[in-house]
A and B are shown apart, each in its own frame.
Chain A
Amino acid sequence: MTSGTKRGGVRGTCASVLTAALVAAGCSAPGPAPDVTLRVLAGSEVADLEPLLEEAAGRTGVAVELEYTGTLDGMARIAAGDRGGGGGEYDAVWFASNRYLNLHEGGRSAVHVQTPVMVSPVVLGVAADRAEELGWADGGEVTWADVHHAVAEEGFTYGMTNPGASNSGFSALIGVASAMADTGSALRSEDVERVGPELAEFFSGQEVTAGSSGWLAEAFARRSERGRPVDGLVNYESVILSLNASGALEEPLTVVYPADGVVTADYPLTLLSDPSEEALRGYERLVEDLTSVQTQQRIADRTRRRPVTAGAELSPPVPPLVELPFPTSQEVVDGLVSDYSAALRRPARTVYVLDVSGSMEGERLRELQLALNALTGADGGSLTGSTQSFQEREEVTLLPFSTTPAEPLTFVMEPGSVDESGADLAEAVAGLEAGGDTAAYDALVRAYELLEEGRTGTDGDHLMSVVLMTDGEVNGGIDLAGFGDSLSARPDAVAEAPVFTVLFGESDMPEMTELADLTGGRVFDAREQDLEEVFREIRGYQ
Chain B
Amino acid sequence: MRIPHTSGRGAFWFVVVASAVAVVLAAALGLVVVNRLAGGDLVLVEGVVGSEKVALFDDELVGERFAELGYEVRVRPRGSRLMAEDVDGADFVSPGSGPASEHVRELHGISTEYRLFSTPMVLLSYQPVVDALAGVDVAGRGGDGTWSFDLAAYLELTRERTRWRDLPGDAVSSSNRNEVLVRTTDPRTSNSAAMHVAALSYLLNGEEVVTPGQVDDDLTGTLARLFLAQGQPPESSQQPFEQFRDLGAGHTPLLWAYESQYVDAMVNGPALARDAVVLYPEPTVYAVHTAVPFTEEGDAVGRLLARDPVLQERAAAHGFRTEGGAHFEDLVAEHGLPVRTRIADVVNTPTYGVLEDLLAGIEDAYGDSGARPPAPDEAARGGGAQ
Contacts and interface: CB of A to CB of B under 8 A. Distances in A.
A274 to B, nearest CB: 11
Interface in B236-251: 242, 245-251
Contacts of B377: 109
A328 B178 contact: no
Nearest to A258: B175
Interface in A146-189: 179, 182-186, 188-189
Contacts of A329: 366, 369-371
A107 B232 CA distance: 14
Interface in B258-272: 269-271
A323 B232 CA distance: 12
Contact of B175 (A116, A141, A325): A141
Interface stretch (B1-9, B115-123, B313-321): B1-9
A186 B386 contact: no
B325 interface: no
Interface string A226-263: 00000000000000000000000000000000011100
B81 to A, nearest CB: 14
B247 A328 contact: no
A137 interface: no
Interface string A94-122: 00000100111111110111111001000
Contact of A114 (B232, B250, B386): B386
Interface stretch (A276-284, A384-392, A493-501): A276-284
B369 A322 contact: no
Contacts of A189: 370
B65 interface: no
Contacts of A283: 3
A280 B382 contact: no
A323 B177 contact: no
B36 to A, nearest CB: 26
Given A108-B385, A261-B178, A324-B178, A308 B3 contact: no
Report the interface size class on chain A.
Answer: 35 or more
A102 B230 contact: no
Interface centre among A104, A107, A116, A288 (most CB of B within 10 A): A116
Contacts of B370: 189, 329-332
Given A102-B235, A114-B386, A261-B178, A108 B378 contact: yes
Given A108-B385, A109-B374, A329-B370, A185 B179 contact: yes
A129 B384 CA distance: 49
B229 interface: yes
B360 to A, nearest CB: 17
Contact of A185 (B3, B231, B235, B374): B231
B371 A328 contact: yes
A318 B271 CA distance: 20
A17 to B, nearest CB: 29
Contacts of A431: none
Contact of B375 (A109, A113, A183): A109
Contact of B232 (A111, A182, A311, A327): A327
B163 interface: yes
Report the interface size class on chain B.
Answer: 35 or more
A54 B374 CA distance: 37
A342 interface: no
B230 A111 contact: no
Interface centre among B179, B245, B251, B377 (most CB of A within 10 A): B251
A278 to B, nearest CB: 11
B176 interface: yes
Contacts of B374: 108-109
A322 B250 contact: yes
A320 B386 contact: no
B381 interface: yes
A215 interface: no
A302 B132 CA distance: 38
A71 interface: no
A322 B378 CA distance: 30
Interface in B323-341: none
B126 to A, nearest CB: 10
Contacts of A22: none
B178 A330 contact: no
B181 interface: yes
Contacts of B172: 320
A321 interface: yes
B159 interface: no
Nearest to A141: B175
B175 A259 contact: yes
Contacts of A112: 381, 384-385
A94 B341 CA distance: 43
A309 B271 CA distance: 11
Interface in A335-364: none
Contacts of A183: 179
A403 interface: no
Given A106-B375, A320-B247, A325 B229 contact: yes
Interface string A287-316: 110000000000000000000111100000
Given A115-B386, A323-B250, A324-B178, A185 B369 contact: no
Contacts of A185: 161, 178-179, 181, 228-231
A125 B355 CA distance: 48
Contact of B6 (A103, A264, A284, A325): A284
B233 interface: yes
B372 interface: yes
B270 to A, nearest CB: 4
Given A111-B381, A185-B231, A186-B232, A325 B3 contact: no
Contacts of B382: 108
Interface in B187-235: 228-233, 235
Nearest to B2: A113
Contacts of A288: 1
Nearest to A100: B232
A411 interface: no
B242 to A, nearest CB: 7
Given A281-B6, A330-B372, A113 B386 contact: yes
Nearest to B375: A109
A326 interface: yes
Nearest to B251: A323
B300 to A, nearest CB: 26
Contacts of B163: 184
Contact of B3 (A113, A141, A186, A320): A113
Contacts of A287: 1
A273 interface: yes
Nearest to A107: B378
B248 A320 contact: yes
A321 B381 contact: no
Nearest to B231: A325
B251 A322 contact: yes
A111 B189 CA distance: 14
B246 A326 contact: no
Contact of A264 (B178, B247, B379): B247
Contacts of A113: 3, 384-386
Given A115-B386, A308-B246, A102 B232 contact: yes
A264 B3 CA distance: 25
B8 to A, nearest CB: 11
B378 A109 contact: yes
A184 B381 CA distance: 30
Interface string B343-386: 00000000000000000000000100111101101110110111
Contacts of A184: 161, 163, 177-179, 229
Contacts of B246: 119, 308, 310
25 contacts: A102-B235, A105-B375, A106-B378, A108-B378, A108-B385, A109-B378, A111-B385, A112-B381, A185-B161, A185-B178, A185-B228, A185-B230, A277-B5, A280-B5, A284-B6, A308-B246, A310-B245, A310-B270, A320-B172, A320-B249, A324-B178, A327-B232, A328-B366, A328-B369, A328-B371
Would you list the 3 A-B pairs with minimal beta carbon distance, nearest first?
A325-B231, A331-B370, A185-B229
Given A102-B235, A327-B232, 5 more contacts: A105-B372, A112-B384, A119-B246, A280-B5, A320-B251
